[in-house]
Structure formats: C-alpha cells, structure tokens
C-alpha cells in the first residue's frame, strides 16, 4: 500500500526535557497530531514541568492516549491519513508489545513509520551500579483483577534469584485492567502485598497437591 502519512514513535527518556534528543524535539514540532502514551507509562506532570511548558509555548496540543486508542487505533489512523502523527512514549518506545503492534498496524494502513529512541530504564541501570548483563527476565506485577491472583511474577522472581540475576520489576498502573481511567501507579507496598498473596496461593496449591 502506498504511504499515506507518517507515524513517529518518539521516546522522551525518563522525563526531563533536557534529556530529549534533537530529533525527538524536531519530530514533535513538525507533527500535525501529537499523542502521549498514558497506558503503558505515566508522565508525572507537575505545574513546573519543563516539557509541558515547552509544549504550551510552542502551541503543541498533546492528547493523552488510553489503552483503546493505542490498541485499537484504526479509527484515528483513518481520520489522520496523510498527516504527520507523533506518539510520545516515556523512556524508549520499543520496549512494549503495545507499541510493536501499533507499528505493524500503521504499516498495514500504509503509513511510513519512524522510530526515535529515547533513554530507557535499561540504559540507566548502570548509574546505580548494576550490570546489564546480569539481568534475568523482566517481571510485571499487576493489580488483582476480578479476584484473579497470578503467581507467575513470584515464580519468575524466584527463578532469577536462584540464578543469581537481577530483576527489573514493572509495577502496574491500572487497578481496573481496562486502561481507560486515570493511571494509579502501584506503590511498592501494594506490590509487596501482591507478592505475599501469590506466595499464599502457591503454598495452598502445594498443600492441596496429592
């Protein structure tokens, strides 16, 4: 299919405007439509936030993208055909399967896709004394959903520990599981309680096993 426009996934790093690359800034400025991912990551905006101040000064209208908008983008891809679209992602844009799927669908719609990488968490771990080569599988801890308790996060954590590996733990942002409401980042305390419940479930399973 002939290209009908451009969709750029722009990584903005960990947040401070000073860490944006020149290519990221140029792409945002030259886009007709600017989304910011509000599902897989959260940009903790404050009144003194330099990124949003810059966007306001440049008259850039940023639309916060919920889960349906990112995972079911067919409508806006049709609406904005032939335009320059930017999807801003905290960190690096290609660490999430949501964004990989978005790229594939954009290409099916005939868009030219441009990826602008930003500083991701994997790039920053060296600054706290950890070695990137000693990380095991990434573990996501999610809020309990409809009383369903997944035990796999605890199992992966235990396996990494057994192997002597570090673990990057990602904490959930949405208690509803729908990705529509305003994000509520999981606190370390809630994550701890979730791991305790996982351990209790695993223990009960062992007791019930013949």
Which of 4-8, 16-20, 51-55, 86-90 shows the lowest per-residue confidence on average (mean pLDDT)?
16-20
Query: How far is Cα 116 from Cα 12, in angstroms, rounded to an integer?
Result: 9
**Looking at the DSSP assignment, which residues form a beta bridge with residue 145?**
148
Q: Which of 1-5, 34-38, 175-179 has the highest mean pLDDT?
A: 34-38
Query: How far is Cα 70 from Cα 169, in angstroms, rounded to an integer?
Result: 23
Task: Report helix angle 188-208 to 152-162, nearest 10.
Answer: 90
Residue 91 predicted with pLDDT over 80:
yes
Q: pLDDT tens across 157-187, in order?
A: 999 999 999 999 999 998 887 888 888 889 9
Please list, in sequence order, all residues whose beta carbon lies within 8 angstroms of the beta carbon of residue 128, skipping any fewer than 6 positions away: none
């Amino acid at each position: 299919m002939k290209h009908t426009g451009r969709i750029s996934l722009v990584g903005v790093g960990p947040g401070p405007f000073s860490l944006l690359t020149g290519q990221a800034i140029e792409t945002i400025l030259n886009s007709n439509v600017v989304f910011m991912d509000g599902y897989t990551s959260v940009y903790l905006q404050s009144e003194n936030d330099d990124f949003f101040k810059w966007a306001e000064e440049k008259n850039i209208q940023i639309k916060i993208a919920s889960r349906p908008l990112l995972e079911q983008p067919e409508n806006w891809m049709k609406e904005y055909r032939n335009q320059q679209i930017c999807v801003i992602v905290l960190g690096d844009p290609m660490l999430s399967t949501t964004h990989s799927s978005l790229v594939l669908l954009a290409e099916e719609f005939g868009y030219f896709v441009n990826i602008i990488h930003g500083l991701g968490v994997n790039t920053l771990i060296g600054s706290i004394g950890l070695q990137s080569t000693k990380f095991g599988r990434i573990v996501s801890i999610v809020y309990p959903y409809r009383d369903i308790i997944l035990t796999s996060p605890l199992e992966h954590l235990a396996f990494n520990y057994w192997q002597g590996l570090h673990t990057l733990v990602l904490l959930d942002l949405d208690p509803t599981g729908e990705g529509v409401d305003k994000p509520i980042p999981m606190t370390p305390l809630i994550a701890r309680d979730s791991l305790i419940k996982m351990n209790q479930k695993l223990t009960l399973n062992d007791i019930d096993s013949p």
